[in-house]
Amino acid sequence: MLVSQLKNKKIAIVGMGLTGQSCARFLVRHDIDAVGFDSRSLNEADFDIRCQFGAFQENQFIDFDVILLSPGISLLTPAIRRAIECGVEISSDIALFAANFSGAIIGVTGSNGKSTVVSMLEAVFLEAQVPVALGGNIGIPALDILDQDIAIAVLELSSFQLETVSNLPLKAAAVLNVCEDHMDRYPDFQSYCAAKQSIFDNAEFKLANIDDKNTWPVNAKADAYIRRDNQANGFGLQFSPAAITFDGEPFIFANELKITGIHNLLNAQATCIIASQFDVPQSEIRNALCGFEGLAHRCQLIAYKQGISWVNDSKATNVGATIAAIEGLRPLVDGELCLIAGGDAKQADLSVLANRIERDVNRLITLGKDGHILAAMKDNSVAVQTLQEAVKVAANEGKGGDMVLLSPACASLDMFDNYQHRGQVFVDAVEELL
């Protein structure tokens, strides 16, 4: 929706978190009036527009022309469903951004790895001196980068964000992987997959995962695939020695990267494939990836003490992320792998972790709301009440050559403010060790 199309519309911004606030700033900059709403009790003085707070009423939004819906609020919320029934148009910050941005847009989604891939892409374009900005689900609302002088916008897009935008005009789109997540929001796994796959609806270049059919476009064929095998043409992967390959030859060896794990090699491969569509020289792709430091709380090696490696993967808020971490890191462990896991599973099926834990995890420490489900997957697992206690147990039982991996497979909100808070508590606890 163009700015000009918003003039003289009656607009509600529903959800006044970071996204809602960015929508408000955007509208104020263009002298467009709106009313903000949030079910929480917030302070109206903190916002740029008039606001109403408190529980949503069923007919609260039926007299508006447009609702700019924040991704944290479901389309199935009764007041939103009622507004849709009454013909109110549902839009979002991503839709506004796409309609009003003149450059190329790259969209990346997936249950896991998307923050790493978009950050790698930003690094590659900066290395190539291409004006670029990063936004979306990664923490910078898309509308906040709209006025920057950039040629390319790299957007991390969640399934929630994709629900409220159709035919997103993307120069390149990627679905990295799909596993059960947010089952407390979706009626079934197929609905979650459909939200992810919708990123392809109007994309010029489509990248999917050859091993995960849930990432494949529904009504088209992918232009390229992330792969775990070597290829005579294009980018692939080899395992001995581990490397990203191009046209059958090593392109970047795993030991040249500052990040670790097979899953991160696949993230880097995805970055190579997308960057190549923008004619970035391979030398600059390589330089950027070899210099990439990785992201906090994502398979981050935080300490090496008494011969034990301590890895913070607090961002692993679903089963797929934890499986990827175990699969990617286990080959690098000379001794035993100790997994710390648990939290709020968000009604996801944790049982798919059982075989991986039984085969690749030597010691299991569990905590949180659904920790008991994980604890039952391994004999002699240890249940604890706090993350600090988990670190102490892991340290007492560990020996040289071991790795202790915090990869919870669950959300953090049952015990922490967010996954960042959980990760920092883990880091602080490890630092307190001798």
- Residue 44 is predicted with a pLDDT of 82
Cβ neighbours of residue 69 closer than 8 Å, sequence gap 6 or more: 14, 15, 75, 80, 90, 91, 92, 164
Confidence of residue 48 (pLDDT cuts 50, 70, 90): confident
Reading the block at residue 413, the tokens are 């909100």
> What's the whole-number mean pLDDT along residues 98-125?
96
- Residue 246 is predicted with a pLDDT of 98
Q: Which of 7, 10, 167, 182 is catalytic?
A: 182
- Residue 434 is predicted with a pLDDT of 66
Confidence of residue 331 (pLDDT cuts 50, 70, 90): confident
137 is a catalytic site residue: yes
Confidence of residue 296 (pLDDT cuts 50, 70, 90): confident
233 is a catalytic site residue: no
pLDDT digits (tens, 9 = 90+) for 363-414: 999 999 999 999 999 999 999 999 999 999 999 999 999 999 999 999 999 9
Q: Can you say which residues are annotated as belonging to the binding site?
A: 110-116
Range name among 43-47, 128-132, 306-310 with the lowest pLDDT average:
43-47
> What's the whole-number mean pLDDT along residues 275-294?
96
Q: Which of 30, 59, 100, 114 is catalytic?
A: 114
pLDDT digits (tens, 9 = 90+) for 256-266: 998 888 889 99
Q: Which of 137, 209, 214, 312 is catalytic?
A: 137
Going along the chain from its start, the domains and CATH numbers come out as 9-91 (3.40.50.720), 95-291 (3.40.1190.10), 300-431 (3.90.190.20)
- Residue 295 is predicted with a pLDDT of 86
